[in-house]
Structure 1
Amino acid sequence: MVSDQVARADHGHTITALSRWSILDKKLPPVNAINAVHVYDFDNTLFKTPLPNPKLWNGPTVGQLMSPDIFVNGGWWHDSRILSATGEGVEQEEKRAWNGWWNEKIVQLVQLSMEQDDALTVLLTGRSEKGFSQLIKRIVASKGLQFDMIGLKPAIGPNRERFQSTMEFKQIFLRAVLGTYASAKEMRIYEDRPKHVGGFRDFFADYNKHLINRGLNPITGHVVPVAELSTTLDPVVEVAEVQHLINAHNIAVAKERKGGRSGRLAIKKAVLFTSYMIQPSDTKRLISLLNTLAPETKDLKPLANTILITARSCPQHILDKIGGLNSKMKWEVTDIGSYQSNLWAVRVRPVPANAIYHSDNRTPAVVMGAKGGTRPADVNKIHQWQPVPADQNFVFETTVGEKVMLRIDREDQDGEDDQHDRLFPHRGSKRKFPSDDDRQSRHHGRDRGNGARDYYNSSQSRGGGDNRGRGGHRGGGAPRGNRGGRGGYKNSGRSGKGAHGYRSLDDVDTRESSQNGYGAAAVSYDDNTFPALPQGGPQFHQHLPPPPPYGQPFPIPGQWPGMGGNGQGRPSGGPGPDLQNFY
Structure 2
Amino acid sequence: MNVNLVGKGWFQEPRSLDTSLFPEKNAWHSWWNETTISFVQQSISDPNALTVLLTGRQYSPFHEKIKSMLLSRKLFFDVISLKPDDSKIQWELMYRQPQLSEKFKGKVTDIPANYTTIIYKKALIQGLVKHHPSVREISIWEDRQRHVRYFKRFLDDFIEQGIIEQGTIHVVRCKEKYLDEQSEIELVNSMIEENFIEYEDIIVEDNIIRENNIKENSAIEDTNVNNDDHNSIVFT
TM-score for the superposition, normalised by structure 2: 0.69
- What is the one-letter code of the residue matched to 2:145? P
Query: 82, 97, 111: which is aligned to 1:161?
Result: 111
After TM superposition, give the deviation of residue 205 of structure 1 in Å.
1.5
Contact 1:75/1:245 (8 A) holds in 2: no
Query: 84, 94, 100: which is aligned to 2:30?
Result: 100
Residue 79 of structure 1 is matched in structure 2 by 13
SS of residue matched to 1:222: strand
SS of residue matched to 1:146: coil
Q: Is residue 186 of structure 2 the alignment partner of residue 231 of structure 1?
A: no
In structure 2, do the counterparts of structure 1 residues 259 and 194 end up closer, same or farther at CA, with 3 Å as the change threshold?
A: farther
CA distance in 2, matches of 1:202, 1:241: 38
Q: Deviations over 1:58-101 (max 9, x none)?
A: xxxxxxxx873334xx232221112226xx525xx221100000
Q: Map 1:17-96; keep pairs closer than 5 Å.
A: 68=3, 69-71=5-7, 74-84=8-18, 88-90=20-22, 93-96=23-26
In structure 2, do the counterparts of structure 1 residues 130 and 257 end up closer, same or farther at CA, with 3 Å as the change threshold?
A: farther
Q: Deviations over 1:498-523 (max 9, x none)?
A: xxxxxxxxxxxxxxxxxxxxxxxxxx
Q: Map 1:420-431; keep pairs closer than 5 Å.
A: none
After TM superposition, give the deviation of residue 199 of structure 1 in Å.
1.1
SS of residue matched to 1:172: helix
Query: 133, 151, 160: which is aligned to 1:200?
Result: 151
Q: Deviations over 1:414-472 (max 9, x none)?
A: xxxxxxxxxxxxxxxxxxxxxxxxxxxxxxxxxxxxxxxxxxxxxxxxxxxxxxxxxxx
- The structure richer in strand per residue is 1
Query: 110, 114, 127: which is aligned to 2:40?
Result: 110
After TM superposition, give the deviation of residue 251 of structure 1 in Å.
4.8
After TM superposition, give the deviation of residue 120 of structure 1 in Å.
0.6
Contact 2:159/2:167 (8 A) holds in 1: no
Gaps of 5+ in 2: 90-108, 207-236
RMSD of equivalent CA atoms: 2.5
Residue-pair matches, total? 184
Contact 1:191/1:197 (8 A) holds in 2: yes
After TM superposition, give the deviation of residue 209 of structure 1 in Å.
2.6
Contact 2:83/2:117 (8 A) holds in 1: yes
Q: Deviations over 1:26-52 (max 9, x none)?
A: xxxxxxxxxxxxxxxxxxxxxxxxxxx
TM-score for the superposition, normalised by structure 1: 0.30
CA distance in 2, matches of 1:258, 1:138: 38
- What is the one-letter code of the residue matched to 2:65? L
After TM superposition, give the deviation of residue 244 of structure 1 in Å.
2.1
SS of residue matched to 2:56: strand
SS of residue matched to 2:77: coil
SS of residue matched to 1:152: strand
Q: Percent identity?
A: 31
SS of residue matched to 1:197: helix
CA distance in 2, matches of 1:168, 1:70: 20
- What is the one-letter code of the residue matched to 1:241? L
- What is the one-letter code of the residue matched to 1:197? V
Q: Map 1:510-549; keep pairs closer than 5 Å.
A: none
In structure 2, do the counterparts of structure 1 residues 209 and 242 end up closer, same or farther at CA, with 3 Å as the change threshold?
A: same
After TM superposition, give the deviation of residue 224 of structure 1 in Å.
1.1
In structure 2, do the counterparts of structure 1 residues 242 and 161 end up closer, same or farther at CA, with 3 Å as the change threshold?
A: same
CA distance in 1, matches of 2:205, 2:64: 29
In structure 2, do the counterparts of structure 1 residues 164 and 253 end up closer, same or farther at CA, with 3 Å as the change threshold?
A: closer
In structure 2, do the counterparts of structure 1 residues 167 and 75 end up closer, same or farther at CA, with 3 Å as the change threshold?
A: closer
Contact 1:252/1:258 (8 A) holds in 2: no
Contact 2:118/2:147 (8 A) holds in 1: yes
- Single out whichever of 243-252 and 179-188 deviates more from structure 2: 243-252
User: Max radius of gyration: which structure?
Assistant: 1
Q: Map 1:279-358; keep pairs closer than 5 Å.
A: none
Contact 1:124/1:170 (8 A) holds in 2: yes
After TM superposition, give the deviation of residue 229 of structure 1 in Å.
2.3
CA distance in 1, matches of 2:151, 2:139: 10
Greater relative CO (CA pairs within 8 A, separation 6+): 1
Contact 1:121/1:147 (8 A) holds in 2: yes
Q: Deviations over 1:82-135 (max 9, x none)?
A: 2226xx525xx2211000001111111111111111111101111122222222
Query: 136, 139, 142: which is aligned to 2:72?
Result: 142
